[in-house]
Amino acid sequence: MASTPSFKIADVVADLTRGGMPLRFTAYDGSAAGPEDAEIGLELVNQRGLQYLVTAPGDLGLARAYVAGDLLVHGEHPGNPYEVMQKLKDHTKFRAPTPGELVTIVRGLGLSNLKPPPPPPQEHLPRWRRMMEGVRHSMSRDAEAIAHHYDVSNAFYRHVLGPSMAYTCAVYPTAEATLEEAQAEKFDLVARKLDLQPGQRLLDVGCGWGGMVIHAAREYGVKALGVTLSRQQAEWAKQAIDDAGLGDLAEVRHLDYREVLESDFDAVSSIGLTEHIGIANYPSYFAFLRDKLKPEGRLLNHSITRHTNKPTRTGAVIDRYVFPDGELTGSGRMITEAQDAGLEVMHSENLRHHYAMTLRDWNRNLVDNWDECVAEVGLGTARVWGLYMAACRVGFERNEVQLHQVLAVRTAADGSDGFALRPTWGS
């Protein structure tokens, strides 16, 4: 039998909140906190949800309760809890309880609530458990981490990402541009920065569902090879290449980028891979890509970044539910590592606002296709995606994370780099 707390749950939440509760918080014991006329609310519906909050305080406990359906959002669609994320970010900071308060809370909530329930099935093992099962960023562990996130369901990704099947920051030529227009512009901006020409050879590492490979082959007449650690992505990309009639120019392999044997490429694109490889591996990563280029060959590295005075490892929620083993650092670190590997960095661009807009549109797609997404992957996984994308959107809007494209070249022995005196790729 579930134990009933001896005092009101909402009172505990309110007492530990600094700046006022911007939402209406209600709990299964009938207690409530926050403004009664608030348009957005959170409802704790059962004891398991309380146990999640008590045993994993902070973001992880909230995420567990939300994913499991024990913490409900009112006034917003579960596929896009953006306003909840905004309000919590703007107005609410939870302070740590004093030792005396902690004793009172434990006694009041009951000892049974200190036993952590099993986490939702969507949650990956914690870092320390993964360390026991494999070396961080080994090929086998990277393959497992990628499969956790990307081998969910191609149909699900099609609903969320749209026809482009591009799961990286888009580039909006105008504020009114559609997601598909912005994804096409992203691939074309990469192609222009790489100065792709008919007959050249492109290597796209971490190619996803093959969007860059297909764009380069179709629009620029480039012979393009893409590699991905996700089997489902590779299968989708191969079919998309066949459907487009590009089999003579484009190829996607289910392969770790470190296993690519070919070299002398005119260009290398890396769109959304660097977040997964580990900062300690940057020297070998950039050196490997440099060695794949011919003299005057260009590298475009497109990656989420974070200020270097912030932790490099992602938080517990992102690490366990979204990107296991992911790491972020600043664009300056990437530029330094690329230069130390013998590349000449020619240009860097921050597309932070574009990623916030991209996440906005992915959230909209999730909401518009909610029933189909839930049928495909289950309600818990659909909630994970709505929560993570809305929270990340706020992060990009608040400049907590950024998105940088860094353009570099393998300079020839005589110092030539093949660049014009000024950039030629336009906006």
Give residue-wise pLDDT tens across range 301-316.
999 999 876 655 667 7
Distances (CA, A) of 116 to 51, 61, 64, 65, 134: 6, 10, 11, 12, 26
Does the pLDDT value for residue 130 go beyond 50? no
Is residue 351 one of the residues assigned to a domain?
Answer: yes
Which residues, 6 or more positions from 336, have their beta carbon under 8 angstroms from its beta carbon? Answer: none
What's the average model confidence in pLDDT over 357-367? Answer: 98
**What's the confidence (pLDDT) of residue 375?**
95
What's the average model confidence in pLDDT over 43-65? Answer: 87
Does the pLDDT value for residue 4 go beyond 80? no
Is residue 3 one of the residues assigned to a domain?
Answer: no
How far is the C-alpha of 102 from the C-alpha of 32, rounded, in Å?
21
Assign residue 194 the CATH number of its domain. 3.40.50.150
The answer to whether residues 109 and 212 belong to one domain is no
Take residue 55 and report the two structure tokens written for it.
């045993």
**What's the confidence (pLDDT) of residue 62?**
87
How far is the C-alpha of 344 from the C-alpha of 415, rounded, in Å?
10
Q: What is the mean pLDDT of the chain?
A: 88
| Tally of domains within the chain | 2
Contact 249, 224 (CB under 8 A): yes
pTM over 0.85: yes
Take residue 309 and report the two structure tokens written for it.
């005075």
In the chain, the percentage of residues whose pLDDT exceeds 70 is 84
The answer to whether residues 263 and 328 belong to one domain is yes
The answer to whether residues 174 and 322 belong to one domain is yes
Does the pLDDT value for residue 131 go beyond 90? no
Is residue 74 one of the residues assigned to a domain?
Answer: yes
What's the average model confidence in pLDDT over 399-420? Answer: 97
Domain housing 225:
142-409
What's the average model confidence in pLDDT over 272-301? Answer: 96
Contact 159, 376 (CB under 8 A): yes
Is residue 426 one of the residues assigned to a domain?
Answer: no
Does the pLDDT value for residue 47 go beyond 50? yes
